[in-house]
Amino acid sequence: MNRCEIYSSAIPATPARGVVVRKPWARNLLTFLMVFGPGLIVMEADNDAGAVSTYIQAGAQYGTHLLWLLVLLLPITYFIQEMVVRLGIATGQGHAAMIYSRFGKWWGLFSLVDLQLLNFLTLVTEFAAIALALEHLNISPLIGVPVAACALTLLVLTGSYRRWERIVVFLCLLDLTWFALAFYARPATGEILRNTFVPSIPAGGLTASLVFLVVGIVGTTIAPWQLFFQQSCIADKRLRFADLKWARLDTLIGAAFTIIVAGCMMMTGNAALSHGFSFADPAQMAVDLSKVFGPWFRTGILLLMINAATLGTTAISLSSAWAYGEVKGWPHSLQKSIKDAPGFYGVYVLCVGAAAGLVLIPRAPLQLIILSVQVLAGIMLPSAIIFLQLLLNDKEMLGERFANKPWNNVVNWTIIIVLFALSLVLAIQVVAPKVF
């Protein structure tokens, strides 16, 4: 067999830039590194400002007792995003475009409007977190928030997907700092291992507060924008059929990294519980814990809050811009210049600018916005996942190679039913708290 391969290239006739290697392992490693990115970014960006708040709250209320829940969520997030990977690689199109073309205008419009609204409201919460952290760092939000919005805009305006991806992967890796914080704040190793691998109900039993926190954690870990983002990202990066196994590995690594970081956040919250601090938000907790661990701890948490919000903002805004561009038929790629894709970049800038501006308005109804995010997420997530599952069973479009196998369907329908039930519980709790 001829060992000379133009790896992953379907039509090798055209000259292309590439790297020549001699060993199969070097080829595999290099190919993986070239494919790596969308999976890590989509997962880690989901550890956004809202997630930091939720995981820390879980730690502060129940210590490390809910670590096992994160372990359970690892395969769930992976299986959902793996479907997105297959769909993106097979079709080379985004999720919004697929819903439009296969389910018609009504469902397409419903998904798009719901996604844009939910994304925008989530962006407001991201900037609210940036403003909060900046205040505790003694930086005026009136200066810091516009600077953050400009930086987030410049991040995508370079006309290079690769540049954007490298910077964002670097930001994702900054979250390794959570490991250091968790190491300093950690409880006994035995307690961590027991609560990670042995599911248990915290002392106090199965209260309504615990149920809603569990639902909140699930809702935080699996967000609707992730489906749209990763599929569009894969399409923009032009991943090839042969890249599928590496894209799956990227997604698995991303899922594992994100869940471990979430566990570290919970352990940091647990430190507040064990030292008897009660707080209203993570920034306040950072200030309280600095009395125990030193000022670096406070600065670390505040900077990580800003990093989480930054990651969330760029990913969520891009999912909006990609989705809108796909549906409108506009050029929509980070590889294009502003001149070539004005609509795509316009949507991104509008999302970032409007959310940042809204946060700076005195007495903006942030509480109402957070409530709306929860309700809309409850509506959006089940519908987006239903479309995803139906698309992955569309053998007419995907053929046997990319369509779901029977075992995929058993796993995915189980996940969908659980998510439906949890979304319903969350929505009922938010909309009609008297029911419980």
| Positions in the binding site for another protein (CB under 8 A) | 2-22, 24, 26-27, 30-31, 34-35, 90-93, 98, 101-104, 107, 161-162, 237-241, 243, 335, 375, 378-379, 382-383, 386, 389-390, 393-394, 396-399, 402, 420, 424, 427-428, 431-432, 434
**Strand ranges (E), 298-424:** none
In the complex with another protein, the residue whose CB is nearer, 281 or 394, is 394
To another protein, the closest distance from the beta carbon of 429 in angstroms equals 10
Question: Burial code of 262-286, b = ≥16 C-beta within 10 A, e = fewer?
Answer: bbbbbbbbbbbbeeebebebbbebb
Closer to another protein by Cβ: residue 335 or 408: 335
Angle at alpha carbon of residue 105, lines to 99 and 108, rounded to 5°: 35
Specify the amino acid at residue 252: L
Structure tokens at 390: 């139906």
- Among 241, 193, 181, 218, which Cα is nearest to 31's? 241
User: Which of 374-413 are b and which e, b meaning 16 or more Cβ less than 10 Å from the residue's Cβ?
Assistant: bbbbbbbbbbbbebbbebbebeebbeeebbbeeebeebbe
Nearer to another protein, 23 or 362 (CB): 23
Compute the least distance from the CB of residue 194 to another protein, in Å. 38
Of 174, 190, 176, 177, nearest to 64 by C-alpha is: 190
Q: Which is nearer to another protein, 294 or 399 (CB)?
A: 399
**Closest CB to another protein among 201 and 431?**
431
Q: How far is the CB of 104 from another protein (least distance, A)?
A: 5
Least separation in angstroms between residue 116's CB and another protein is 17
CB of residue 193 to another protein, shortest distance in Å: 39
Amino acid at 299: T
Rounded least distance, CB 192 to another protein, Å? 38
Identity of the residue, 104 or 199, whose beta carbon is nearer to another protein in the bound complex: 104
Our CB check for another protein shows the closer of 295 and 399 to be: 399
Minimum CB separation of residue 93 from another protein in Å reads 7
- And the tokens for 55? 């995981």
374: Cβ contacts below 8 Å, ≥ 6 apart: 219, 426, 427, 430
Q: How far is the CB of 269 from another protein (least distance, A)?
A: 30
Closer to another protein at the Cβ: 151 or 390? 390
How far CA 286 is from CA of 32, 142, 278, in Å, comes to 37, 22, 11
Specify the DSSP class assigned to residue 242.
G
* Minimal distance, residue 44 CB to another protein, in Å: 21
For 259-321, the DSSP string reads HHHHHHHHHHHHHHHHTT---SSHHHHHHHHHHHH-HHHHHHHHHHHHHHHHHHHHHHHHHHH
- The nearest distance, CB 299 to another protein, in angstroms, is 37
Q: Which is nearer to another protein, 305 or 381 (CB)?
A: 381
Q: Which is nearer to another protein, 16 or 361 (CB)?
A: 16
Closest CA to 53 of 257, 270, 265, 289: 265
381: nearest Cα among 220, 262, 212, 211: 220
